[in-house]
Structure 1
Amino acid sequence: MNILTKIIKNTTAESRKRGVYYTLLMNLSYLIGISRGYIFKLIYFKNISSTVFSMQANSRIEIFNKNAKVSIGKFVFVRKNASFRIDFEGELNIGEKVFINDNCNINCVSKITIGRNTKIAPNVCINDHDHNYKEPGNNHLKIGEVTIGENVWIGSNVVILRNTTIGDNCVIAAGSIVNGNVPTNTLFINKRENQMQNFKSASAKTIKTAN
């Protein structure tokens, strides 16, 4: 009963801000996303453990091994064109109320954990493995783990590599490449240098920027 009351209050408040018509469209989108979430849970009923979560249009979960496991907390919301791929004995754990924006990719063959209330911007890639170009055969994967804490903000176009731990309450700046340990309560920024060269001059002008 408390949940129903909360839904009614939230819907009324959103209707005042957005308008009734647009609030209905938004809620319809949520319901469709929840339905798609249940479809994936039905397809991979042996692999996925979850309650209510939403996956919008063209987002998908692909599991390619009977030993792979996915745990999704309640009220996880995944926007469009996201891809979760779990293979071998991979274990993907997503905490409750995690938000994952458009075009994100998660590739898991070992273990990836995303803590509750974490927000992930568009075009983020998270990988717990990479490829060893020196070993072209079947053992070409270098495997590690990725752990992302609670209440983390991850900016657009971030790449998170294997053997990375991000502590609670961190902010990862847009465009960063993250590998290693990011302590709790940290703003992580990759520093870069941009070079601009005049077409009529051989000299280059370097401008330091931080994203």
Structure 2
Amino acid sequence: MILRRVILRIRSLIYIFFYKISYNKKFQFNNFILMGKTFTLEIIGEKSQVKFEGKFYCRNNVYIVAENGSINIGDNVFFNNGVSISSMNKISIGKNTALGENVKIYDQDHIFNKEEEMYKQGYQTLPITIGDNVWIGSNVTILKGVTIGSNSVIAAGSVVTKDVAADSIYRDQKQPIVNKIIRIKNI
């Protein structure tokens, strides 16, 4: 167990060193970052920036890309396996926030016009803000223009397309409600 942690820390230091050399001032961190296997960070474009405010820990297969956008990740944030974040505008994630497996966060949508080829149509972008102390369940997708208030929980499998108030629980309306109380009769 101790050997595994040491290896994980060494791998993280190598990643940090590589990203700092590759991206210089576009990649900033204020504390230790612990990365699992296959962590990928891409910073594309002059305006792009990725900043880690404090402690950050992630598991495996995490992909973060800022393409002419910025990503700001607060202190004490955790990403589980398969998290993917893509910014063409701005994404802010508050402190003490946890993202479950396969969470996807996109601050852009493709523009669709039948008259033009898809890859030439561009994107519409709006910033995403996730408050402090937010728990986002597995397989959640968060789309452009959303603000999630602090101390909120996003139920697994939700697609978030509108703002979520602070101190609330959000679940996608398409999810089945399982709140029936089943009573077993004594025989």
Q: Give me the TM-score of the superposition, normalised by structure 2.
A: 0.86
Between the two proteins, the alignment pairs up a number of residues equal to 175
**Aligned pair 1:127/2:131, yes or no?**
no
Match of 2:48 in 1: 68
Q: Does 1:37 align with 2:16?
A: yes
Q: Paired residue for 2:97?
A: 118
Please, what is the CA RMSD of the aligned residues?
1.9
Matching residue of 2:67:
87
Q: Does 1:145 align with 2:127?
A: yes
SS at match of 2:15: helix
- Which protein has greater RCO, CA pairs closer than 8 Å, 6+ apart? 2
Write the deviation string for residues 11-38 of structure 1: whole angstroms up to 9, x where unpaired.
xxxxxxxxxxx23323432342243233
Q: Which has the higher helix share?
A: 1
Q: Is the 8 A contact 1:192 1:210 kept in 2?
A: no
CA contact (8 A) 2:90 2:127 kept: yes
TM-score (norm 1): 0.77
With over 3 angstroms needed to count, the CA separation of the structure-2 counterparts of 1:137 and 1:120, relative to structure 1, is closer
Kept after mapping to 1: 8 A contact 2:126/2:144: yes
Which residue does 2:162 correspond to in 1? 180
Structure 1 residue 161, shift from structure 2 partner: 0.2
Cα 1:210–1:148, aligned 2, differ >3 Å: closer, same or farther? farther
Give 1:43 deviation, angstroms. 1.4
Cα distance in structure 1, aligned partners of 2:102 and 2:36: 15
Residue of structure 2 aligned with 1:109, choices 67, 79, 88: 88
State whether residues 156 and 174 of structure 1, in contact with CA within 8 Å, keep that contact through their aligned partners in structure 2.
yes
- The gaps in structure 2 that reach 5 residues or longer are 180-187
Percent identity between matched residues is 33
